[in-house]
Chain A
């Protein structure tokens, strides 16, 4: 009997489930996301995927028995925070910081905002705090930046605060956040002990989280947010995951459900720091790309994901994905490692408007999302979107949207686009549509080239496009930049779900250290100042090994990497450095690390000379523990001839491009095979995506079924 892997990507709009067999063959199901009970969307999508395998729902009632691993990536934690339906949570915090959550910080009021919004004060809003100040209790204590207790913990205050929160305020969870606890956790840990004593005295159990366990890294506001999210949302979100696991169990699935962590690893849904899964949405794509890169032998990849609402992008350099250690999440900065992904509000559902005062075209940043749909879905929305443009220009087919499941109406689209966009601009409808499309492509291109890729040489990178809208816009935003190559994959709409199946079982731990080495120090002192780095590495490695042991892994299976985050003293950003040495015990160790850092720094910031301050600052250390998992095979096929089979050709359709209607060949992606080649102008249609090939481009499908797209003149 075949064994299968099932992975899911639950987005804001749609839930995709991919089922992969041992040969690497895969099918993808799609269903609307169901935030109230995510098992509904998961299972609907699961059944649809089985349908593509020719298995009806009735026939598939025991299919789960043949599933080796089931993975969830998605929005359960996010929904708990958005809907504010997590646990009633109180905080015990360093006295004087009781408002740490409700006050937040200024920059949290404009996370992800455009510059014109940031400058206009009226738009600013703090989010509703997960913990109002009423549920905060201060504790007198202080530890300094070196970990020295300067003010001892006033234990009576802890006891009284815990009692008030549990007994009077009836909280369901308590988060403990003390300043500099990542350097010395003694006060936080003692406070936790006292809380447990109070719980025992009261005979009541509440969830208890301490910041030095949840996120032992500097920046107390972000650490507090992380700890509160963990206390507030983890258990409620876990309940959603248990529901999915229950439903899968009904089909015979005999294992635990796995989930995806924001830094690109999978773990059991019983994993204690589940808040690390809060931002796992865009991770699947990057991890899929990373796996793809290892198979095809490309170390440098720019990953680009076009969805309905956003354009997400990340880079893989030398096989390594950068980590963002303080990403924004629901108007909070959070100390949680997450793959470095940057997003702009630009997708296929992005709204198109013309400002009545300036007559300027405005794309987004908001979008139609899934409900109500864009105009051509006749869902009552009257604001045109990028999807309308693609439809009007002939790129999207009226009969093939989501494989023909969704009915669309080009006439409505034309009427509204003309009235709201083309006429105010004084332009022909089709010229205006093409103008909007090009503007979107420019925004995406700029995001890639001038934001994400600053300091990188494009000639060394392969541009990979995926997401439902990725192939549609890929060559538009690839532009004429000198990418090493441009490629996409079939089933690009389900690539993120597929990527979820490509991850190792992985945990990582970060810890801030604050080790500064200045040139005036003697060698012995320098080494002394670096000792906290080695100590933190050892501590984190021991923790991770213990965690993985408890999760049933043999220590021999675990591989360890040691990392530092380092910068010149005083600079804003540090650089992630894979340490070439396991410890910093000798001057040679230290110099080896400094050389690695300086080489990397010079590569990243070639435009600027290195500062000659000569002071180095290691801000944080990290240990990564991995257990390799069985990945879906990337199948290798015999190459067929360049000419596609006749049945793959659907028809010829006029497309409006560069100011004229041109006939395009329309191909059916499912019927194309490795070895086939197609010249633009062409549109290759699949049920979950559409690849547009402009006239100057040429497509070649390689043995792995990857679509490589090159300029005809290259």
Chain B
């Protein structure tokens, strides 16, 4: 008698435990017997997912899915493992896989049962979703009456009906404000949505036409996968497809293990990062949100002698009364993306992460909230979590460096601050949605070169900000600038790729809500620190002016604002008069009242992190950056120790003065250096006295020590603190 899917899943798990190979596949029989067909079918299945992406995006109708490509389709084994995925937002591949496994685990096979043409969806973080605007879909695929695979899709809709318009619900105080939930539901049969599905979307979202367009796009893509898979099975035989599908997953696991074995070293490596969320005194929804928060994101990675990888995320701090909490399933999916991009990029599927043993964040932490705090909001769940993905880049960068694979090193990401608009656009339509600015940041410094400007996004490989003229079609804005932001890629021997600054003038609207959102931004803390002596990227500092004199400036043909200026001295206040000017606003925030025509928004997008000592930077690179306007004389001299002249309008390095300046910097460093032990003693006193510790920091430390006792013990041990020491937060 055939096993149920739940029994099959269990058998797979046991086989993996027993053999160390997924599905118990100690040999890849199909690959060995027929390597050509094995490769050919892989190519066909991958292409099939891409055909789904092309079809689905064409049918989708929201700017985010359609213009931004914020969608993904996948093909899975009958038990849910991702075999291959389309292009698009690969961060969701693991999550889609876990959703299918969850449907199986919850007994849907028995009730309501799985049959051809069924459409299942989830967007509920309590059951593995990431946040409500990401609608996850799956459809069981049958052949000769047997469930043989699943098609899946996720697309990001412009509005899911949360308490604030749009899709970046960082202000959501609790899960009840997160928007329309689809909680592990069958939303259609016979390849059609149920009537209630569309009715619910129409009554509970602000842009229902777009949301339904995206639903149709998801469905069209899944049906493409179904139809094409049937053709592939007819050609190559069901047995081959079923066997090879499993082998691709196991093969991918082996590839990742092979990369770890040949390009890293065994041992334990740690990386800590922190993120803050300064909301005290800002426009919030509930009184409990009038606070600042801080997140602890520790990571410990151990490479074992057999190249298996242990990853511990213990030490995460407690939940926050905002939308930044994330379910472990979604978190794992993001980490899977990072790991696949860094280590297992040959075949993107469930394989690479299977070689991990993950110790998830503790129950009740912001990254595993629901066991203790069922009300936690997840409106923008990945905001702190992407920092862990960035950590993976840095951790592996160090490991690759140890084995000499310098070309594989990357310094980690910067910060991610979003811009979301809602209001009547220039054609008179109500529109809410995320701009694409944050999807094109600088890429991290590499072990041998600078990162690339405006060319990377940690949460999707399809990094791109599109064209300003297309954005103006959707949003009531005029671009006054979108240039490279100088000094936005940290400072190092190799700098991170630079970000850019969008400058918008509100235009042709009765009112526009600007939400400067959190998708991984920093309020006051720095993100990461760069690697090997580099200096970090500056925190996000947008600016805006409300009720401005820009109209008058235009009429008088006076200078306007087109960039942010040097981070040390933002330009807006010196150029624009307004009833309300924030020249150095602390993200995230929603403007106090709707903006109006001629109001100004200055929205900087971060670059990525740098690598190496900034005084080792090639002076010719500093000269080029100066001439391109990508750095400033102050930074060139004070940070890189590069002295320049400007004999004929262009910067030219003075080599002798540069050598002298760098020698001077080295001497200054020596003069202020103290032995580590002395520093440790000084800091220990401050820690014990909770000196200069903001309440948000104290809460962060106290919750992480409470939720992760072992982490707390290590923390006390490091600082030689009493066994009963706790912070007062």
**A103, A105, A144, A151: the one within 8 Å of B472 (CB):** A144
Q: How far is the CA of A608 from the CA of B55 in the complex (A)?
A: 9
Is B470 a contact of A425 with CB atoms below 8 Å?
Answer: no
Q: Which residues of B contact A427 (CB under 8 A)?
A: 35
Is A106 a contact of B465 with CB atoms below 8 Å?
Answer: yes
Interface residues of B in 448-470 (CB under 8 A from A): 452-457, 461-470
B113 at the interface (CB under 8 A from A): no
Q: How far is the CA of A280 from the CA of B63 in the complex (A)?
A: 33
Is A115 a contact of B410 with CB atoms below 8 Å?
Answer: no
- Name the segment of A48-56, A563-571, A706-714 touching the other chain: A563-571
- Min CB distance B227 to A, Å, is 8
Q: Which residues of B contact A428 (CB under 8 A)?
A: none
**B213, B444, B483, B628: the one within 8 Å of A613 (CB):** B213
Least CB separation from A333: chain B residue: B467
Q: How far is the CA of A460 from the CA of B38 in the complex (A)?
A: 31
Is A121 a contact of B456 with CB atoms below 8 Å?
Answer: yes
Interface residues of B in 203-247 (CB under 8 A from A): 209-210, 212-213, 216-217, 219-220, 223-224, 227-228, 235
Q: Which residues of B contact A612 (CB under 8 A)?
A: 209
A572-B467 CB under 8 A given contacts A121-B456, A133-B628, A611-B213: no
- Min CB distance A226 to B, Å, is 13
- Name the segment of B6-14, B252-260, B709-717 touching the other chain: B252-260
B484 at the interface (CB under 8 A from A): yes
Q: How far is the CA of A442 from the CA of B470 in the complex (A)?
A: 37
B67 at the interface (CB under 8 A from A): yes
Q: How far is the CA of A103 from the CA of B605 in the complex (A)?
A: 13
Is B462 a contact of A134 with CB atoms below 8 Å?
Answer: no
- Min CB distance B54 to A, Å, is 6
- Name the segment of B40-48, B271-279, B683-691, B699-707 touching the other chain: B40-48
Q: Which residues of A contact B559 (CB under 8 A)?
A: 140
A357-B255 CB under 8 A given contacts A106-B463, A607-B220, A609-B216: yes
Q: Which residues of A contact B60 (CB under 8 A)?
A: 571-572
* B315-345 to A contact mask, C-beta < 8 Å, 1/0: 0000000000000000000000000111001
* B138-180 to A contact mask, C-beta < 8 Å, 1/0: 0000000000000000000000000000000000000000000
A652 at the interface (CB under 8 A from B): no
A454 at the interface (CB under 8 A from B): yes
- Min CB distance B690 to A, Å, is 40
A99 at the interface (CB under 8 A from B): yes
A387 at the interface (CB under 8 A from B): no
A168 at the interface (CB under 8 A from B): yes
A138 at the interface (CB under 8 A from B): yes
**A109, A152, A168: the one within 8 Å of B557 (CB):** A152
- Min CB distance B276 to A, Å, is 26
* A500-522 to B contact mask, C-beta < 8 Å, 1/0: 00000000000000101010000
Q: How far is the CA of A124 from the CA of B452 in the complex (A)?
A: 7
Q: How far is the CA of A320 from the CA of B462 in the complex (A)?
A: 32
- Min CB distance B561 to A, Å, is 9
Is A134 a contact of B628 with CB atoms below 8 Å?
Answer: yes
Is A151 a contact of B560 with CB atoms below 8 Å?
Answer: yes
Q: How far is the CA of A357 from the CA of B263 in the complex (A)?
A: 12
- Name the segment of A196-204, A214-222, A263-271, A292-300 touching the other chain: A214-222
A573-B472 CB under 8 A given contacts A107-B463, A151-B560, A358-B255: no
B549 at the interface (CB under 8 A from A): no
Least CB separation from A95: chain B residue: B562
Q: How far is the CA of A450 from the CA of B52 in the complex (A)?
A: 10
Interface residues of A in 563-621 (CB under 8 A from B): 568-573, 605, 607-609, 611-613, 615
Q: How far is the CA of A451 from the CA of B86 in the complex (A)?
A: 13
B300 at the interface (CB under 8 A from A): no
Interface residues of B in 602-644 (CB under 8 A from A): 627-630
- Name the segment of A431-439, A550-558, A678-686 touching the other chain: A431-439
How many chain A residues touch B (CB < 8 A): the figure is 84
B418 at the interface (CB under 8 A from A): no
A98 at the interface (CB under 8 A from B): yes
A570-B62 CB under 8 A given contacts A140-B560, A425-B35, A443-B43: yes
Interface residues of B in 521-574 (CB under 8 A from A): 554, 557, 559-560, 562-563
Q: Which residues of A contact B594 (CB under 8 A)?
A: none
Is A605 a contact of B557 with CB atoms below 8 Å?
Answer: no
Is B483 a contact of A96 with CB atoms below 8 Å?
Answer: yes
Is A96 a contact of B35 with CB atoms below 8 Å?
Answer: no
From A102, A443, A446, residue with most partner B Cβ within 10 Å: A446
A360-B39 CB under 8 A given contacts A98-B629, A572-B60: yes
B interface, size bucket: 35 or more
Q: Which residues of A contact B224 (CB under 8 A)?
A: 454, 607
Least CB separation from A514: chain B residue: B473
A439-B455 CB under 8 A given contacts A97-B481, A134-B628: no
A125 at the interface (CB under 8 A from B): yes
B251 at the interface (CB under 8 A from A): yes
- Min CB distance B528 to A, Å, is 15
Q: Which residues of A contact B462 (CB under 8 A)?
A: 106-107, 118
Q: Which residues of A contact B220 (CB under 8 A)?
A: 605, 607-608
A381 at the interface (CB under 8 A from B): no
A570-B66 CB under 8 A given contacts A121-B410, A150-B507, A179-B468: yes
Is B483 a contact of A98 with CB atoms below 8 Å?
Answer: yes
**A106, A168, A454, A570: the one within 8 Å of B61 (CB):** A570
Q: How far is the CA of A426 from the CA of B469 in the complex (A)?
A: 56
Least CB separation from B341: chain A residue: A119
Q: Which residues of A contact B227 (CB under 8 A)?
A: 607
Least CB separation from A443: chain B residue: B43
A83 at the interface (CB under 8 A from B): no
Is A608 a contact of B217 with CB atoms below 8 Å?
Answer: yes
**A97, A105, A220, A570: the one within 8 Å of B454 (CB):** A105
A180 at the interface (CB under 8 A from B): yes
**B40, B47, B58, B482: the one within 8 Å of A571 (CB):** B58
Is B59 a contact of A115 with CB atoms below 8 Å?
Answer: no
A145 at the interface (CB under 8 A from B): yes
Is A611 a contact of B44 with CB atoms below 8 Å?
Answer: no
- Min CB distance A53 to B, Å, is 44
* A102-133 to B contact mask, C-beta < 8 Å, 1/0: 11111101100001101111101110000011
From B46, B345, B429, B560, residue with most partner A Cβ within 10 Å: B345
Q: Which residues of A contact B466 (CB under 8 A)?
A: 105
Is A446 a contact of B468 with CB atoms below 8 Å?
Answer: no
Q: How far is the CA of A104 from the CA of B464 in the complex (A)?
A: 10
Is B61 a contact of A608 with CB atoms below 8 Å?
Answer: no
A221-B467 CB under 8 A given contacts A124-B443, A454-B55, A568-B61: yes
Name 18 extra pairs, CB < 8 A, besides A97-B481, A142-B480, A144-B508: A97-B479, A102-B628, A105-B465, A106-B454, A109-B455, A115-B46, A122-B407, A145-B426, A150-B478, A221-B467, A358-B251, A434-B36, A435-B35, A450-B47, A480-B235, A572-B57, A572-B60, A608-B219
On A, residues with C-beta under 8 Å from B are: 95-100, 102-107, 109-110, 115-116, 118-122, 124-126, 132-134, 138, 140, 142, 144-146, 150-152, 154, 168, 179-180, 218-222, 355, 357-361, 425-427, 434-436, 438-439, 442-443, 446, 450-451, 454-455, 480, 514, 516, 518, 568-573, 605, 607-609, 611-613, 615
**16 A-B interface contacts by CB (under 8 A):** A96-B503, A99-B484, A107-B463, A120-B342, A121-B456, A142-B505, A154-B557, A220-B467, A358-B255, A359-B35, A360-B35, A427-B35, A435-B34, A442-B43, A607-B55, A613-B209
On B, residues with C-beta under 8 Å from A are: 31-32, 34-40, 43-44, 46-48, 50-51, 54-55, 57-63, 66-67, 87, 90, 209-210, 212-213, 216-217, 219-220, 223-224, 227-228, 235, 251, 254-255, 258-259, 262, 340-342, 345-348, 407-408, 410, 426-429, 439-440, 443-444, 446, 452-457, 461-470, 472-473, 478-484, 500, 503, 505, 507-508, 554, 557, 559-560, 562-563, 627-630, 649-650
User: Considering the complex of A and B, which 9 residue pairs feature the smallest CB-CB distances, nearest first?
Assistant: A96-B481, A435-B36, A96-B562, A608-B220, A106-B463, A572-B66, A442-B40, A570-B61, A107-B464
